[in-house]
Every structure is written in structure tokens, then in C-alpha cells.
Structure 1
Amino acid sequence: MNRAQLGAALRALRAASGKEAKAVARSALMSPSKLSKIENAKLPPSATDVERILTAIGVSDEVKAEYAEAARASATEATAWRLLKRIGVHKGQQAAKALEAQMSVLRLFQPALVPGLLQTPEYIRAILQRHNMSEDALTRTINGRLERQAVLYDNAKSLRFIITEPVLRWRIVRPQMMAAQLDRIVSISRLSHVDIRIVPLRAQQHDIANHAFVIRDHSMVTVETVHAEVVVTDPRDVSLYIDKFEGFERAALADDEMRDLIDGIRNKFLREQETG
């Protein structure tokens, strides 16, 4: 059941109950305007919203459980990469930039690649070339990602990154460029409002680094899978990602320990370049 179907179903249930929208909204602890937006699919309802609306309407517990689960499912939206490519990958960079302008706290976990906000131009190009874009689209997307990096210097925001150690060793570009990429991570880590941590291979782990994800404030999680970008907004699901992030945060190296680990890997890349 998508958002439109859910809204229509709630509107039909209310109409069948004979209760006016204002009365249902008041009992559901929301404004009539919010209820109208939910019923007309202009606002995605949370599972809590749905439960309150259905309680106000007076349906059975079984119906409430069914519709609350439908609301939870509709709060997860996936957009296939092939669709993003069709409309222009650079537009995805613009959308991300708009989200980052509005947020106060960003928490990003990355077990596969250097996070986009920390990437050098050479690293960005190497990553994006996998998508078989035209040179024009590639240039626009690279520029879009570089423009997004301006958020790193907004000290009104709290930016927290967790990267696993294999990311630092994964050879996306030539050794000298990898060394430059690691230098950039160290440089950004010295900003007072930026916290970068590395989960070292030597640490005993109690969780699995399944995939990358980004948490913006406490309201939205973006997950990148092989075929699509998934957006999660249900509070219960968001809390799962926050718990996972904080678990890896406790296992990760920070500050000078983190920079010492990066410097060691960087120096190996430089020695390899010299002897290559």
C-alpha cells in the first residue's frame, strides 16, 4: 500500500464511521489541516499518526495493526539508480545539498568508500565513471558533489563520520592519489564541528558492517544499495540506524589515534609510489 492508497483508505474509513474530519483530528491530537494532508497523500503519516486516527474513528485493534504496518512500510521509499540516471545524477547531488542545508546533525557510516563529502576530485571521478555517464553529465555531477562539500565548513552543524579501515586501503585511484585522499580526511578531521572515526581491523566487533547509511538529524536515513537509494523515515526504523551508528562509534578510533592509523596507511601508499 503506497502513500496515496493509505490516505484514501483512511479517508474511506472515516467516511464510513460517519465522523467529521474536525472531530477525528481533535481526538487524534492533530490539526484538521494535517489530517486533510494525510488523507489526500500530501503528507506521509507515521505509524503513530495512523494509530491515533484509527483510534479516533473507532476501528478494531486488528485493523489498527494492519494499517500501522502499512504506514511503516510506506515510510520506506526506494528510487532505482537507473531512474536517477535518467533524470540526471547531478540532480541527485542538488537534492542532497538541499537536505544538508536544512539539517543540524549528520551521521554517516561508510564501510565501502570514502564518504562523498570527504572525497577528492580524482576519487569522485573514479567512483562516478562506473555509471557510464557522458563526459558532460560526469563533469556536472563531480561539480555538484564538490559544491556539496561547502557544508563541511558550516560550524553551526555537527558532522559525524565513521569509516571502516578497509575503506582507507581500497585502491580506487593510484597510490599517490590515495595518499592525497587520506591527507584530505586528516585535514577535515581537524575542524572543530567535524568528528571522523575509523573502525580498525584489529578491534573485536559485535556488529556487522552491512552497508553504508546516512542519518540526517533524527528524522531520515538514506541507504545506498546496489540497485537503489532507500529513504527511511519511520521513527522506529531510524532509531535502529542510530543505535547501529553509536555501536560502531564506540568501537572506532578518534582524534590522534585515528590520524596515526591514517598516516601509517598513507605512508605505505607513498612508499609504493616511490618504488613503483
Structure 2
Amino acid sequence: MSASKLSKIETGKLAPSVVDAEGILTAIGVSNEVKAEYLEAARAAATEATAWRLVRRIGVHKAQQQTRALEAQMRSLRLFQPALVPGLLQTPEYIRAILSRHDLGEDVLTRTISARIERQQALYDSTKELCFVITESVLRWRIVSATRMAEQIDRLASLSRLPNIDIRVVPLAAQQQDIANHAFVIRDDRTVTVETIHAEIVVTDPQDVSLYVRKFERFAATALAGEDMRATLASIRDGFLREQETG
């Protein structure tokens, strides 16, 4: 946390988020009882929302750096994504295609792409357990050209072989008992981040977090994993390559 942000919190000019409060309480070494008391008060408003327009105002690349700091501290991540390849798994070309839709200046765009790529170092930290569940439609949604989509799918297959990474694909043909409403990220089973059209929402109430954990587990149970998952990736990738050859 920057000194200026801490100063604003201390002087009452800025209300601390639950994550901010926990970081401060941990840093000053209060007892677990005191920490629990203050965090319960911070959770009185169980959900925090930060509008994307505010994120753009402070700098999208800075938001990426803040997310990287969170990911550096976490030990487990469970991410569900029904629309896009998760940011941690994206190729540089896919990242540029996604971020170019946000009307960023070239300088900010370049810095944000670099910040997201730097975040991907978390993938190679063997102390972290990372599980990604995506729907098959994510693999078919044409964010970039057929050739680039094939490269993106190859990256998923490669990363899925890392011992600390579990990538699963929910096939379109599978009978589902749940609805793929939106993407969400669960960190250490303590916080959930939800991205909506207008804002990023952080959920910290344990009861609400458990709802997302159960939803994630239901989709993970119906998803393809391991060699079955990689066979699906290969089939879709080959389709993109054939299309490029005949195009």
C-alpha cells in the first residue's frame, strides 16, 4: 500500500476496503480476536463495488499491479470464466485484443499489457494451487484471428501440464444443473471478485463466498480435465488451423 493511500485512510479521506483493513491489521500485528472484530465491522457492507470508470481514472495498468499484489499473497485461486480466456492464461495477442476494446491510449495500453504479462509469473510459483474452469464457448469465441486462437489454445494445453495448475473445460454437450451467469475468482476461499459490465465487485462475507465455492465445484465436477480436456483443445485448435489454411 502506498504511503499516500495509507495517509488518506488514516485521515478519513478514504474508506478502507476489507482487503485494506486486513492488510493494515496484519501489518501492525494485532491479535486474531481484534482482527476478527474489525474485519466484521468492515464487512458490514459485505460487497464492495469499484466502477470501471474509476479504474480507468486511476490507471488500468495500476489496477493490474494491485491485482498482482493480491495474487502474490494468495495460496489458492479458483476461477470460473464463461466468456473469455482468463487473464493469467492469455497470450500477448489475446491480451491486446481484449484491452483494445476499452478505448485506452497507446501508452496506457502498452503498460497495461506489460502489467498483465508480469502478473502471469504467478503461474510458475509452485507454492500456489491454481484451478481454472472455462466453458467450451470460451475456446470458440473469436477474439483474435483463427491462427492466434490456435496459439491461445496451445498455450492452455501447455500450461495445463504444470503440476500446480488445473485447467478444465465444461463441454457444451454436457447436461448442466447450473447457470454460467458470469465470471468470478475465488482467492484462498476468503474473497470473491466478480466482474460485471459496469464494475468489479469484491465479496468477503463468508456465507456469500461459500455460494461461489459451491457453484465453482459444481461446474468443475462436470468439466473435462487432464488428457480428455487436452484432446478437446486439440480438436478445436485443429479446426481453427484448417480454417486458416482454406481461408
CA deviations over 1:130-180 (Å, ceiling 9, x no partner): 110000000000000000000000011100000000000000000000000
| Matching residue of 1:155 | 126
> When the two structures are superposed, what TM-score results if normalisation uses the length of structure 1?
0.76
Task: Indicate which of 42, 45, 59 corresponds to 2:41.
Answer: 45
Separation (CA, whole Å) in 2 of partners of 1:30 and 1:270: 58
Distance in structure 2 (CA, Å) of the matches to 1:259 and 1:182: 9
Map 1:1-276 to 2 at 5 A.
30-31=33-34, 38=38, 43=39, 45=41, 71=44, 74-276=45-247
Can you give the 5+ residue segments of structure 1 that lack an aligned partner in the other structure? 5-28, 48-70
Q: Is the 8 A contact 1:120 1:181 kept in 2?
A: yes
Partner residue of 1:12? none
Cα distance change on mapping 1:240 and 1:268 into 2, 3 Å: same
Taking only the aligned residue pairs, the percentage that are identical comes to 66
Work out which structure has the larger RCO, using CA pairs closer than 8 Å and 6 or more positions apart in sequence: 2
Does the 8 Å contact 1:220/1:238 carry over to 2? yes
Greater Rg over alpha carbons, structure = 1
State how many pairs are aligned.
218
Deviations 1:206-244 (A, max 9, x none): 000000000000110000000000000000000000000
Match in the other structure for 1:62: none
Q: Residue 173 of structure 1: SS of its match in structure 2?
A: coil
> Partners in 1 of 2:138 and 2:239 — Cα distance?
15
Query: Which secondary structure does the structure 2 equivalent of 1:195 belong to?
Result: strand
Moved over 6 A (4+): none
Q: Does the CA-based 8 Å contact 1:44-1:75 persist in structure 2?
A: no
- 1:78 aligned partner, one-letter code: A
Distance 1:105 1:87 in 2: 28
| TM-superposed deviation, 1:75 | 1.9
Partner amino acid, structure 2, of 1:45? A
Does the Cα contact within 8 Å between 1:46 and 1:234 map onto a contact in 2?
A: no
Rounded to whole Å, the distance in 2 between the matches of 1:234 and 1:185 is: 32
Report the Cα offset of residue 34 of structure 1.
Answer: 6.4
1:45, CA displacement in angstroms? 2.5
Q: CA RMSD of the aligned region, Å?
A: 1.6
Counterpart for residue 14 of structure 1 = none
